[in-house]
Amino acid sequence: MDEIPFLKPRLVSKDALTGYLEQIDATRIYSNHGPLNKRVEERILRRFFSDEGAVVTVNNATTGLMLAIMQVKRAGKYALMPSFTFSATPLSAMWCGLEPYFIDIDPERWCLNERQLEEALQKLGDEVAVVVPYAAFGAELNLEYYESLRRSGVPVVIDAASSFGCMRDDQFGRGFKGAVVFSFHATKLFGIGEGGLIYSADETLIHRLRQSSNFGFDQNRESRQIGLNGKVSEYAAAIALATLEVVDEKIIARERIADWYRAELQDAGMLFKGWKLQEGGGKIPYQFFPLLCPPKHDHRFYLSKLQAAGIQARTYFSPSCHEQPLFQRSPHSDLSVTEDVCRRILSLPVWEDIEQAQVQRIVRCLADE
């Protein structure tokens, strides 16, 4: 029986890049916010954000988080965030001289529990330097709440690594005046190999972030603020431009796969037997398909079943950050929901040319008691 891999990324083909590579050869500009990169930013801002605000590309989302946190943080020692996130989130805060403070998640969307966040803000007061919510697997966040938090004087940087292409009425993040950081890693919907994007409705903030991603240089190439080299090469921009030509097809493909999973789970009666889907809101072109197994088993039981059937799966994000050696001493709230979700989380295969019959095989393997 053929194995089903967990991820099988497919970037644009070399033929789609030829015209852009010829433009690079003609200009002999290879980096430093070149013409192709400028075109990427203009097209993304128009296509996904209706020309509201501004964007800047970065060489990866972790760099984007570091730059954004450093730019907006206030005096204080803590970065409040979920433990249920990729380690890049707390690492970015640590690179900015802050200490992660982990808050529990809500049991439906698996995003920051806003009630516990408020309690932590009241408890810690001015010790809070920044809040870094994670939009778990592309789930909707309450942007009105985080905008009000930002207006109250608490800086907010949203880790939206998996959220590019996630729609309700608009692209997630549109109109938010803090920083929203997206990933363009190869495994994401908008995969270009390595890369990322920072969006804000505050154009001045993006201007500062663009400078800080280029060594903090001003127009005279003098460092006026702390910075690093976070720029995207023209070759990565070429992949991004070619990807923009097919991104709608990629969104449709991933949404269709998620619909297959939901239908198969429903047909197998699994949603009445303790299996639980994430409540995300809007449309999510998933990087992988997340769900919780029934409480009677933890995910190891089902991982073993899948592995025996030649099916690869993962458990993002288990172990969660507070369970990992580097972060074990970080302060945190009660994390009972995080620990329950991490015990039960399964991440099932999604790649754009996976077949419906393969999704059926995956679900039937899980359903077979």
Domain count, the chain: 2
Q: Reply yes or no on whether the pLDDT at 168 is more than 80.
A: no
- The C-alpha atoms of residue 156 and residue 146 are separated, in whole angstroms, by 7
Query: pLDDT (tens digit, 9 = 90+) per residue, 232-291?
Result: 999 999 999 999 999 999 999 999 999 999 999 999 999 999 999 999 766 789 999 999
The answer to whether 77 is a known catalytic residue is no
SS3 99: strand
Query: pLDDT (tens digit, 9 = 90+) per residue, 189-225?
Result: 999 999 999 999 999 999 999 999 999 998 888 898 9
Residues 225 and 273 in one domain: no
Residues 124 and 165 in one domain: yes
Residues 182 and 286 in one domain: no
Residue 232 CB neighbours (<10 A)? 29
Q: Reply yes or no on whether the pLDDT at 26 is more than 80.
A: yes
- The C-alpha atoms of residue 278 and residue 316 are separated, in whole angstroms, by 13
How high is the mean pLDDT of the chain?
A: 96
Query: Is position 320 within any domain?
Result: yes
Q: From 141, 179, 192, select the one nearest 17 (Cα to Cα).
A: 192
Last residue of a domain, which of 191, 214, 243? 243
CB 202, CB 159: distance < 8 Å = no
Residues 148 and 181 in one domain: yes
- Between strands 179-183 and 157-159, the pairing is parallel
CATH code assigned at 118: 3.40.640.10
Residues 231 and 312 in one domain: no
- pTM (two decimals): 0.97
Percent of the chain exceeding pLDDT 90 equals 93
Task: Taking residues 302-321, report their average pLDDT.
Answer: 97
Query: Is position 274 within any domain?
Result: yes
Q: From 71, 45, 62, select the one nearest 179 (Cα to Cα).
A: 71
Last residue of a domain, which of 201, 216, 243? 243
CB 192, CB 240: distance < 8 Å = yes
Q: Which domain holds residue 78?
A: 14-243
Q: Reply yes or no on whether the pLDDT at 1 is more than 70.
A: no
Note the pLDDT of residue 282.
67
CB 230, CB 211: distance < 8 Å = no
**73, 188, 231, 250: the active-site residue:** 188
Residues 289 and 166 in one domain: no
Residues 295 and 346 in one domain: yes
CB 94, CB 73: distance < 8 Å = no
Note the pLDDT of residue 364.
97
